A and B are shown apart, each in its own frame.
Chain A
Amino acid sequence: MPANPKHLASPGHRVLKISAGILGGFLVTILGHNALGTLLENKSALIVTTAFSAFIVWAILMVVAFMFKSGWKAWGVYLLLIVLFGTIIYFYK
């Protein structure tokens, strides 16, 4: 039995969620890791960790994007995180 369409989002929200998951999720992942990297002394340990953690975090963020009821909310939260991590990189680099 396939998923019940009454629980699925409208096409507009679907586009928002997919873009938030793929693009927003990627930016949050990369900026988050690098924000941590700028704060840490031992950068090489962080970089090798990124090799596996980045894909896991990114995939989870993609899943989470679909958990929001509204696609706007997903983008909103991810944009906030992007700004937060971006600020950390800008000031601590």
Chain B
Amino acid sequence: MKLKALKPRLHNAMFHTHTVSGIVISFALFICFYCGAVALFMDEIYQWENPEARISGVEASAVDYDQIITRIEKEVPNFNKNGQFGIVPPTESNPMVWFYGSTKDAEGQTDRFMATLNPESGELVSLGKEPKTHLGRTIYELHFFYQIPVIGIYLSGLVAFFFLFAIITGLLTHWKNIVNRFYAFTTEGKWKQIWTNGHVSLGFIALPFQLIYAVTGALLGLSILLLAPSAFLMFDGDTSKVVAAVRPDAGFKYDEDAAVVDGAISFNSVFEKVSEGYPETEITYIYTNNYGKEDGTVSVRVDDHRGISGDGVFVYGFKDGQLKQADVPNEKSYAQSTFGVLIKLHYATYGGIFLKIIYFILAMITCYIILSGVMIWRTARDNKKYSDKQRRFHHRVTKVYLAITLSLFPALALIFIANKLVPMELADRVFYVNSVFFSGWLMFSLIGLFWNNYRKLNRNYIVIGSVLGLLIPIANGLVTGDWFWNTLANGQYYVFSVDMTWLIIGVFGLAISLVYLKQKEGKEDLQIVRPLRKIKERPILTEEPTPVLQNFSDTK
């Protein structure tokens, strides 16, 4: 069956815009999906990254939250009790209590801080701008380029938006071939065909997933583009009204000079009230504005982690304990639930760990689609219609893209090792761990530029990453003493699964690179980019061995 093709002019216009937009965003988009896929498990890997968090059997309801506020007041000079501050209760995967607040000095300068506390003793474990371990967060932040000051997040939003553009144009470009390519997924034949079949058929399978990420990613990165004009055009420039429409709990106004009153409620009483009313629903965040003042509020965010609309928020007045705003999970109106649905679709928090695994696989498929797109681009231009100079340029661009993206795998293994080898006691340890990661990534990318053969490039990165990956469980065992057989026996599955995953990745990676990728190496080492330089001396071109491996094939 063939779908009706677009008219030639339209097809070519779509094809060209798809190619250009795809090539421009490709490596950035790869980083978004690759790091984002790992960041899905940010909470699940937390116990692995922070040995101090390897506590079991913690009950969120047993924690004395008011005691924690008193403790913070004592430990943090200039703690700003009237500003917004909040507590994340302990969970099974992340059993620490997290406190987010701000300080305000005599001149009125405010500054944010965070603290982690032991859930049982209430003792302070870390205090400052950053937590002691940052592995998951570093990967998470990289997926929206947070490390690039100021503009990073907007860049990621733009990348997501152009991804949406590339999805639509790609769908139109490949429209007539969607069905027959779907049944032609093969690893044999000409390389151009392999890349194209994979690109189209996998792209079709992952289409809904990618559409979700393009839209929600653009929203998370570029919400400012919607917020400001809507505030200006509909509410005379009052952004708080737009914010209130999206997040009702953020729409309250607070007066800094409100009278100090004795409250009818405390964090503990609010926690109890909500968990009694919704015993099946987890409390994810308790926070407050203008605490201790007449117009203050204490709010609770909840999430059952099951339904797409299973999140909610309850806002209580501090003075009288009255419920001022309630977004009840699974009973919300369209306006109340939509934003939460978009967030849940992006963070995959509506279907447990298996949904996250499916998301992870789809994200990896998307990474393949991105790279196969680059390979199609290069392979299709690898013929005599292009001058040597052009072909070398195509080769170089492809090589740089592959080096940047494929070296992320060994770099990722490196940050896991660095997380263990940099001592916990060291001040600024987060800085050192991140430096190892980013300089390691840079180094791996640069080495890759010397490997002219794509097959070799790919295989070398897999080998390096697999060897480093195998070292990860060993590093964890040596440094923390929690060898993976111990964590399995003790039922510390969050720690065990990280070690085990890396072990499996390492073994499989080595097996694939040794058995599969080695087979044809002897023959193809001859066909690296060098022959191209000789072409100049021989004016008549027959089917020359082309820069890397593949011969041109005109496909209709």
Contact = CB atoms under 8 A, between A and B. Distances in A.
B334 A48 contact: yes
B161 A7 contact: no
Interface string B223-245: 10110011001100000001011
Interface of B: 8-17, 19, 161, 164-165, 168-169, 172, 214-216, 218-219, 222-223, 225-226, 229-230, 233-234, 242, 244-246, 334-335, 338-339, 342, 377, 380-381, 554-556
A34 B245 CA distance: 14
Contacts of A3: 12-13, 15-16, 19
Which are the 10 A-B pairs with shortest beta-carbon distances?
A44-B245, A7-B12, A3-B16, A48-B338, A34-B233, A3-B15, A47-B245, A59-B164, A3-B12, A55-B218
Contact of A56 (B14, B164, B342, B555): B164
A54 interface: yes
B215 A55 contact: yes
Interface residues of A, number: 37
A54 B226 contact: yes
A30 interface: yes
A7 B161 CA distance: 26
Contacts, number: 112
B335 A48 contact: yes
Given A26-B225, A43-B234, A47-B242, A1 B554 contact: yes
19 contacts: A2-B16, A2-B380, A3-B15, A8-B16, A26-B225, A30-B229, A31-B233, A37-B234, A44-B246, A47-B230, A48-B334, A48-B338, A48-B339, A50-B230, A51-B226, A51-B342, A52-B216, A56-B164, A93-B234
A48 B245 CA distance: 7
Given A34-B230, A56-B164, A63-B168, A51 B219 contact: yes
A67 B13 CA distance: 7
A50 B334 CA distance: 13
A63 B13 CA distance: 9
A56 B215 contact: yes
Contacts of A67: 10, 13
B155 to A, nearest CB: 15
A53 B301 CA distance: 26
A73 interface: no
B8 A7 contact: yes
Contacts of B342: 51-52
A13 to B, nearest CB: 11
The listed residue with most A CB atoms (<10 A of its CB), out of B17, B242, B246, B377, is: B17
A61 to B, nearest CB: 10
Given A44-B246, A45-B334, A66-B17, 6 more contacts: A3-B19, A7-B12, A33-B230, A55-B219, A55-B222, A63-B169
A60 interface: yes
A64 to B, nearest CB: 10
B466 to A, nearest CB: 36
